[in-house]
Amino acid sequence: MILCESLKDKIIIIAEYDSVVAKKLRIYLQDNGFNNIQVAKNGNQLYEILRFYYNDPDQVGLIIVNESLPQCQLLEMCVMLSSSHEMVAIPFIVYGEHKHFKYAQDSYFVKAKCLLHYMVAPISYANLLIVIGFQLNMKHERCLRYQQEERLVSELAERKIIDAKLKYLVAHDELTSLLNRKSFESHLRLILNRDQQLAHVGAILFIDIDRFSLINELESFEVGDSVLVAVTAIIRQLLTKDDLFARVGADELCLYLPNQTTEDVRLFAEKIRQIISEYRFTSGESGQNLTISIGVTNLNLDNGLLHYQGLIAQARLACDMAKELGGNQVCLYSEHDKKVIARQSEIYWVPLIRQALLQNKLFLVFQPIVDLSSGVTSHYEVLTRMRSTGHKIIHSAEFIAVAERVGLIHSIDLFVVERAIELLAELPSMTHISLAINLSADAFQGDALVVAIQEKLEQTWLDPKRITFKIAESAVLNNFEQACARIAEIRALGCQFALNDFGAGFCSFEYLKKIPVDYVEIDGKFIQNLTHDESTQVLVKSIVEIANMLGKKTIAERVEDPETIQKLKEIGVNMGQGYYFGRPQMNIKSKDSDFLTKAKQMNLNWLQ
């Protein structure tokens, strides 16, 4: 039998009390390549040799032992060392002239599956060599099999650990070990279904760390993570086993408290806020205090809202209101709160506005502005409308304010400017027509609008004098210097400018002197009662006189009847706009249309 060199390097122990026999065995084995041989004359010496390799028994290849070896409990030794159930089994070759050991081997050792072979003395060396090779190979194969089994068991154990970790991570946040959003919602849904039947109540707290992004930016993300872990640890100490605590966003935490009254929840939220505000985190040599904003919504079975996402949204909305108040606040959700109503309006309108921008559902309408001295249409104001899914026309008053609050107004500004300029460019035969385009309060933030106007004018070769831009008085006053600078830039392109809703913000005449505009539009609230209110007439007359002195023309808004027109003419107002002259229309025709004819006829009636 062929043996690899590594097996021949194993230690072979000859346990023989007869030194002559032991010597012959040793010489024979050495002649056949087995050089690592040790001899024991009795059981005690054999035990001493084996004890030396106690921590590394794999070095011992096999033991050749005389069944009559003195001081040796051979049967027990064979069972203990050669059993295949052990990690490292040491094979035995037992030889002798008696047969009682062979009988014991047949009955017990076979059942024990020991690596044992019995040979009758005198030994045949040729057969001995075969048996040695067989036993060493069996030892090697069983060792490999055991290692493979151990590896498989280890892999299975590791896989179970990994599976357990994955199952945990599926339901928990890795950083804080809190429930994640999906798991929190799942738990909350089950609780709500149960509480509907048991008539239990509770509350949801939505917690946001104030100015958390600054910590990440000024310190590091690692510091931010440490702060988040510390905050969650502080809050967790205040909770009971029945409370649910989750991380639902970067710095957003959500807490469900069962069986709590409104006052108890409010006091608990204040307690959390107070404890966090007293906590001071350190980074390097610096230290900072933290604050949090908390929104609270109560689970009231009487209000009919028991959907988990709706409740979380309510708590989040209350938290947003707390942050708008400056942070470090606790706000309770109330469906009657004006801010809640406004935010719910945003939630309704924002997707509609986005859809309108993406699907080209915004369009322009045009309302005439008439010269009061001649009755001729001076120009048209551009107004924005939205077409809903059901083809209903939506007035700009319903969605512009929301667009301003959520940051979508800039896209609307660009759409109106580009479409209005394109429209004029598509009407080459109507060079007498000009348009007035409303700009939002955010239009002057950055250079994008000015660049867009310049590029569009260059692309269309449109005379910039045919474009007048309108900005509300309040928008100018909010950032006076920046507004004046932007107005000057746009006028430098050749466009005109109008100050809209003048008087609504009680702008002083000193400001009017500094604002570089061509037109002053008098707010409609002064025009509607003009014929019946002498003080209003004095105020409007003052505006007109100052505007004339500054070289600015005046436009009256919301003109609704002939009497008002006559009074405006007496005061000296240059132009008027209102439903009496014409309602907003979708088209401007190249020739004198019915719409223009009607407006002109109305003008002639009151001029006569």
In a domain, 360, yes or no: no
Instruction: State how far Cα 250 lies from the chain centre.
Output: 7
Dihedral of CA 520/524/530/535: which sign? negative
Per-residue pLDDT tens digits for 99-136: 555 545 554 554 456 788 888 888 888 888 888 888 88
SS (H, E, C) 3-64: CCHHHHCCEEEEECCCHHHHHHHHHHHHHCCCCCEEEECCHHHHHHHHHHCCCCHHHEEEEE
The pLDDT of residue 101 is 58
Pair (207, 137) in one structural domain: no
Pair (76, 185) in one structural domain: no
Q: How far is the CA of 502 from the CAs of 400, 439, 524, 538, in angstroms?
A: 20, 15, 9, 15
Q: Out of 191-200, 441-450, 542-551, give the one with best mean pLDDT.
A: 542-551
Per-residue pLDDT tens digits for 417-443: 999 999 888 887 677 889 999 998 888
Q: Which of 110, 129, 149 is the last residue of a domain?
A: 149
Rounded CA-CA distance 516/61 in Å is 104
Rounded CA-CA distance 536/527 in Å is 8
Domain count along the chain: 3
Determine the structural domain holding residue 325 and report its residue range: 179-335
The pLDDT of residue 591 is 47
Rounded CA-CA distance 341/326 in Å is 20
In a domain, 516, yes or no: yes
Pairing, β 280-283 against β 286-289: antiparallel
Backbone torsions φ then ψ of 88, nearest 5 degrees: -125, 105
Pair (486, 591) in one structural domain: yes
Global pTM? 0.56
| For residue 122, cis peptide bond before it (omega within 30 degrees of 0) | yes
Pair (140, 189) in one structural domain: no
**Cβ distance 317 to 295 under 8 Å?**
yes
What's the mean pLDDT in 5-9? 77
The pLDDT of residue 603 is 47
Q: Is the pLDDT of residue 197 over 80?
A: no
Per-residue pLDDT tens digits for 487-518: 999 999 999 999 988 876 555 677 788 888 99
Pair (123, 261) in one structural domain: no
Q: Is the pLDDT of residue 346 over 90?
A: no
Tell me how far apart the terminal alpha carbons of the chain are, to the nearest angstrom. Answer: 132
In a domain, 355, yes or no: no
- When mean pLDDT is compared across 83-92, 142-151, 321-330, 385-394, the lowest value belongs to 83-92
Average pLDDT, the chain: 83
Rounded CA-CA distance 506/465 in Å is 29
Q: Which of 107, 133, 149 is the last residue of a domain?
A: 149
Q: Is the pLDDT of residue 376 over 80?
A: yes
What's the mean pLDDT in 236-256? 90
Per-residue pLDDT tens digits for 47-73: 998 888 888 888 888 999 998 899 888
Pair (145, 231) in one structural domain: no
